[in-house]
Structure 1
Amino acid sequence: MAEDLYSGALFVQVCLGWNLYLSTVLMLVVTALYTIAGGLAAVIYTDALQTLIMIIGAVILAVTAFSKIGGYQNLAEAYLKAVPAKIIPNTTCHLPRADAMHLFRDPVSGDLPWTGMTFGLSVLATWYWCTDQVIVQRSLSAKNLSHAKAGSILASYLKMLPLGVIIMPGMISRVLYPDAVSCVDPDECVRVCGSEVGCSNIAYPKLVVELMPSGLRGLMIAVMMAALMSSLTSVFNSSSTLFTMDIWKKIRRNAKERELLLVGRTVTVVLVAISVVWIPILQSSNSGQLYIYIQSVTSCLAPPITAVFALAVFWRRANEQGAFWGLMLGLALGLARMGLEFAYPSPRCGVPDERPSLVKDVHYLHFAILLCALTAGAVVGVSLLSGPPAESQVGRAGCCWSLARVPRWACQPGGRSCEQVSYFHLPLHGKDPARTLPPRSSDTEGHVADSQEGAPGTCPGMDFFCSPQGAKPEGPPAKAPRDITEAPFWARICCINAVILMCVNVFCYAYFA
Structure 2
Amino acid sequence: MSLDFSLLDYSIIGAYFLIVFAIGYYFSRQERSSTEYFLAGRHVGWFAVGASLFASNISTEHFIGLSGTGYMSGLATGNFEWSASICLLILGWVFVPFYLKSGVFTMPEFLERRYSSASRWYLSSVSIIAYILTKISVHLFAAGILLKQVMGWDIYTSSILLVVVTGVYTIAGGMAAVIYTELIQTFILLAGAIALTWIGLDKVGGWNELVANVPAGHMDMFRPMSDPEFPWTGVILGPYIVGIWYWCTDQSIVQRVLAAKNIDHAKSGTVMAGFLKILPVFILVLPGLIAYALHQKGLLLPGQELSPNDVYPVMVKELLPSGFRGLVVASLLAALMASLAACFNSASTLMTIDVYQKFRPQASEKQLVNFGRTSTIVLVAVSLLWVPLVTVLSDQLYVYLQSVQSYISPPIACMFLVGLLWPRANAIGSKVVLWTGLALGMLRFILEVIHKNSPFSNPFLKTMIEMNFMHFAIVLFVISILLLIVVSLATPAPAQDKLDGLTFRFAGQVKLDEEYKIENPIRRRQNMVASIILLVMLLVLWIIFF
TM-score with structure 1 setting the length: 0.72
Stretches of structure 2 that go unaligned for 5 or more consecutive residues are 1-135
Residue of structure 2 aligned with 1:247, choices 355, 367, 372? 355
Which residue identity does 2:522 align to in structure 1? F
- 8 A Cα contact 1:300 1:338, kept in partner: yes
Residue of structure 2 aligned with 1:224, choices 316, 329, 332? 332
CA positional deviation for 1:278: 4.8
Shift of the 488–247 alpha-carbon distance from structure 1 to 2, 3 Å rule, reads: same
What is the match of residue 506 of structure 1? Answer: 539
Is 1:40 the counterpart of 2:163? The answer is: no
Is 1:308 the counterpart of 2:419? The answer is: no
- 8 A Cα contact 2:500 2:510, kept in partner: no
- 8 A Cα contact 1:323 1:379, kept in partner: yes
Give the SS at the match of 1:302: helix
Which residue identity does 1:384 align to in structure 2? L
What is the match of residue 317 of structure 1? Answer: 424
CA distance in 1, matches of 2:414, 2:498: 19
CA positional deviation for 1:110: 3.7
1:246-304 CA-to-partner distances (Å, cap 9, x unmatched) read 12322344453366235522541354156435525642317xxx6x6565221111111
Shift of the 405–111 alpha-carbon distance from structure 1 to 2, 3 Å rule, reads: closer
- 8 A Cα contact 1:285 1:346, kept in partner: no
Residue of structure 1 aligned with 2:236, choices 101, 118, 121? 118
**Aligned pairs (5 A) from 1:417-428:** none
Which residue identity does 1:313 align to in structure 2? L
Higher mean C-alpha displacement, 171-180 vs 304-313: 171-180
Shift of the 344–34 alpha-carbon distance from structure 1 to 2, 3 Å rule, reads: farther
Shift of the 112–488 alpha-carbon distance from structure 1 to 2, 3 Å rule, reads: same
What is the match of residue 369 of structure 1? Answer: 474
Tell me which structure has the larger Cα radius of gyration.
1
1:321-343 CA-to-partner distances (Å, cap 9, x unmatched) read 11121011111111111222333
CA distance in 2, matches of 1:481, 1:386: 36
CA distance in 1, matches of 2:439, 2:297: 42
Residue of structure 1 aligned with 2:518, choices 485, 490, 500? 485
**Aligned pairs (5 A) from 1:49-448:** 49-80=184-215, 98-177=216-295, 199-255=307-363, 256-257=367-368, 260-261=371-372, 263-269=374-380, 271-273=382-384, 275-276=386-387, 278-280=389-391, 282-285=393-396, 295-345=402-452, 357-358=462-463, 361-399=466-504, 406=508, 408-409=510-511
- 8 A Cα contact 2:288 2:312, kept in partner: yes
- 8 A Cα contact 1:296 1:365, kept in partner: no
CA positional deviation for 1:20: 2.2
- Report sequence identity in percent: 35
What is the match of residue 22 of structure 1? Answer: 157
CA distance in 2, matches of 1:3, 1:320: 33
CA distance in 1, matches of 2:279, 2:323: 24
Shift of the 353–337 alpha-carbon distance from structure 1 to 2, 3 Å rule, reads: closer
Shift of the 18–499 alpha-carbon distance from structure 1 to 2, 3 Å rule, reads: same
- 8 A Cα contact 1:240 1:267, kept in partner: no
Shift of the 323–353 alpha-carbon distance from structure 1 to 2, 3 Å rule, reads: closer
CA positional deviation for 1:133: 0.5
CA positional deviation for 1:171: 1.8
Which residue identity does 2:164 align to in structure 1? V
CA distance in 2, matches of 1:132, 1:213: 39
- 8 A Cα contact 1:15 1:205, kept in partner: yes
**Higher RCO (Cα < 8 Å, 6 or more apart):** 2
CA distance in 2, matches of 1:216, 1:177: 21
Which residue identity does 1:28 align to in structure 2? V
- 8 A Cα contact 2:238 2:473, kept in partner: yes
Give the SS at the match of 2:223: coil
Shift of the 200–398 alpha-carbon distance from structure 1 to 2, 3 Å rule, reads: same
Give the SS at the match of 1:108: coil
CA positional deviation for 1:483: 5.3
Which residue identity does 1:335 align to in structure 2? M
CA distance in 2, matches of 1:295, 1:207: 25
Shift of the 177–2 alpha-carbon distance from structure 1 to 2, 3 Å rule, reads: farther
- 8 A Cα contact 1:106 1:113, kept in partner: yes
Shift of the 216–353 alpha-carbon distance from structure 1 to 2, 3 Å rule, reads: farther
Q: Which is richer in helix?
A: 2
CA distance in 2, matches of 1:274, 1:118: 40
Q: What is the RMSD computed on CA atoms of the aligned residues?
A: 3.0
CA distance in 2, matches of 1:4, 1:131: 20
Give the SS at the match of 1:387: coil
Aligned residues: 404
Residue of structure 2 aligned with 1:497, choices 516, 523, 530? 530
Which residue identity does 1:490 align to in structure 2? R
TM-score with structure 2 setting the length: 0.68
CA distance in 2, matches of 1:481, 1:497: 26
CA positional deviation for 1:164: 0.8
CA positional deviation for 1:145: 1.0
1:220-261 CA-to-partner distances (Å, cap 9, x unmatched) read 000111011101101110011112211232234445336623
- 8 A Cα contact 1:244 1:263, kept in partner: no
CA positional deviation for 1:15: 0.7
1:81-116 CA-to-partner distances (Å, cap 9, x unmatched) read xxxxxxxxxxxxxxxxx4322111122234211111
Higher mean C-alpha displacement, 311-320 vs 388-397: 388-397
Which residue identity does 1:333 align to in structure 2? L
1:361-414 CA-to-partner distances (Å, cap 9, x unmatched) read 300010110111111111112111111010111113444xx8x9935547xxxx
CA distance in 1, matches of 2:225, 2:421: 30
CA distance in 1, matches of 2:507, 2:161: 55
CA positional deviation for 1:18: 2.0
CA positional deviation for 1:500: 0.9
